[in-house]
Amino acid sequence: MAGSSFHHLPTIDVSALPPSLLGSVPSSSSTSSPGISPSSSSQGGDAPPFPPPLSSLQTEVSNQFSNINQAIIPPTLHVPACMAAGTFSFYSTMALSTLFQGKILRLSTGSMTPVPTIAGIATVAVGGLAAHGTSVVVTALQRNERDKKTRRRAMSSSSWWRQSTQQQTQQAPAFADFMTFDQASQTFQSGIQSIENDVRNFGRALRNDPAHAVRIATLALIAFKVLGGRFWSIPPSSYTSLGSFARVSHSIPAKMNYATSAQRKVIETVGRRWGCHTCGSRMVFARTKPSLSGGATSIVKFHADHMPPRSVVNAMDSRWWRRLLRIQVKQRFYPQCVSCSNVQGSILSKAASRNGAGGILKSKANGARALAASGGGSVAYNHGFRPRF
């Protein structure tokens, strides 16, 4: 154990110790000082004793280890880069998972409960591990680059290195270009090797200590919930169910009737502020045609979307146990942009005309479930890589 511990300790640069502390070791080849003969130097003379006093040596060793600790601990400037890399890695994992769930697994926010929630939990856990690993790699790369700069600065400060480089540069003008290319090549190769080693070490650490991976995933899940995230909203948005950006606080109560003029104005305001509940767009740069509403011309960017849709509510309310207990499905108006509203209308129209007049809408047992699923799967809105403007 002791050998493995000291193996990782940095070597103290003895040459950095002051000569007055180390003293001088007499030799026959050394030049004698004026007034001091070689014989007197060899017998001690005015030369300081060797080894030096223990207290002085301990003080100098402590200073060396203090410098080493300062070099090992990452400076504050590394924190923003690690945070940025971890954030980018987390959101990239979320976006790729959303794409995978929609295109491969055919999942959406309208899938059977609790499948979207389980998929979201798994995505956040993997994203937390990816963010942690990326931060570790970025820290190692920065530390490696700093060590290279330190070594390069030490070499450039050497008079022998400067003289040798200047002489070779003067004798061969192409030497400078070769040195530049060689340094760039070595930097690139060492960087790639460092990334591979860091990723390999990170994976080995997770395999050797699964509890550490569980801790990271748990912290990611807690942070996601504390910051207001919802696991079920990570899959793609269904056009015939609540979208990934739907929140009850961004909606108003509704009935089976269409929205009134006052309700449409409220939905228009809510939509421009918080975005469409399906795609999240606020329609900032959207070009829409003016419409005549209440005798005045206005630009409508959001429609009041019944959730659940009226067709789904009719199918759900037609079930025998709801009719027996007189329990009706409650609806709310959510803001939905004009583009998503048009897509939703097309999906509902195709679903209603499927298998004859009325189609699946007349099925009391499975009509609501089939209709809700018609807006998901391959036709669901993939919001992973889409901006919300």
SS3 content of the chain, % helix, strand, coil (to 5): 60, 5, 35
Over residues 113-140, the mean pLDDT reads 91
Whole-number pLDDT of residue 63: 58
Residue type, 72: I
Least confident piece of the model among 202-206, 254-258, 307-311, 351-355: 351-355
pLDDT tens across 283-327, in order? 888 776 665 454 445 688 999 999 988 877 887 888 888 888 988
pLDDT exceeds 80 at position 266: yes
CA–CA dist 74, 357 (Å, integer)? 69
- Cis peptide bond prior to 51, omega within 30° of 0: yes
Whole-number pLDDT of residue 153: 67
Angle at 287 between CA 284 and CA 289, to 5 degrees: 125
pLDDT exceeds 90 at position 336: yes
Residue where the block lists tokens 């502020």: 273
Residue type, 61: V
> What does the DSSP 8-state code read for residue 238?
P
Least confident piece of the model among 17-26, 89-98, 308-317: 17-26
pTM over 0.85: no
Whole-number pLDDT of residue 388: 66
- CA nearest 309: which of 291, 332, 290, 337? 332
Length of the chain counted residue by residue? 389
- CA nearest 303: which of 348, 264, 273? 264
